[in-house]
Copies of this chain bind each other. A is one copy, B any other.
């Protein structure tokens, strides 16, 4: 086992076939529509719990791929999730990913309103990119803000609700998912405590790869 012997693409293919086999053995084979997302999250975490935790509104993946083909923006709630999203993949789709958390105007708006930067960042996203894919891997308050914005009329292309944690996290994902169901907004959420910026980025990447593969089926090969 020397460093030179394994190309990243080969390792990824082998990894995905191991994940596929173990999911089958566990009786957790995901349906074709969600398989790419579920497998990529397990690839990112080595945690098979996600085969049970991930919840999708019907048609969520198809809707997200369609939005990506139309050049939808992705807005994240952490710079870490932003850093994890495949830039070459997004470029093929003429898409863009952004995060407002480090924006001084957002910090100022949060201070003025006596709220968190995550809340201010989501209000900003709702204003500037109302049809975006919102990828939330950290802040429960971001999910609650999105639910409020949806009540006021916001209709994002997709909400990815995967904060991780021990306080308000479980509840915020329940609130978000119920709101998405009520307003017909596509959603992918990791129910329970688990999630994170890495999971948010992995879901975005699975969707981006699915979207690029449809444009060029020879491009990758496993993502589905």
A binding-site residues for B, Cβ under 8 Å: 1-4, 6, 8, 11, 14-15, 18-19, 43-47, 78-80, 82-84, 114-116, 119, 141, 144-145, 164-169, 171-172, 175, 192-198, 201
Chain B residue, CB-CB nearest to A115: B4
Interface of A is mostly: helix
Contact A167 B2 (CB under 8 A): no
Of all A-B residue pairs in the complex, the 10 with the closest CB atoms, nearest first, are A46-B193, A3-B141, A83-B83, A15-B166, A80-B83, A80-B84, A198-B198, A18-B166, A46-B194, A79-B83
Contact B166 A19 (CB under 8 A): yes
- Checking B2, B144, B166 against A46 with a beta-carbon cut-off of 8 angstroms, the contacting residue is B166
- Give min CB distance, A118 to chain B, whole Å: 8
Chain B residue, CB-CB nearest to A142: B3
Contact B14 A166 (CB under 8 A): yes
Could you list 6 examples of A-B contacts with CB < 8 Å? A1-B175, A2-B144, A3-B144, A11-B167, A19-B166, A80-B80
Contact B145 A3 (CB under 8 A): yes
Chain B residue, CB-CB nearest to A4: B115
Contact B3 A115 (CB under 8 A): yes
Contact B165 A15 (CB under 8 A): yes
Q: What chain B residues lie within 8 Å of A195 (beta carbons)?
A: 46
A174–B178 alpha-carbon span in the complex (Å):
44
Q: What chain B residues lie within 8 Å of A79 (beta carbons)?
A: 83
- Give min CB distance, A135 to chain B, whole Å: 14
Contact B46 A164 (CB under 8 A): yes
A198–B79 alpha-carbon span in the complex (Å):
12
- Give min CB distance, A46 to chain B, whole Å: 4
Q: What chain B residues lie within 8 Å of A43 (beta carbons)?
A: 165-166
A165–B115 alpha-carbon span in the complex (Å):
38
- Give min CB distance, A189 to chain B, whole Å: 14
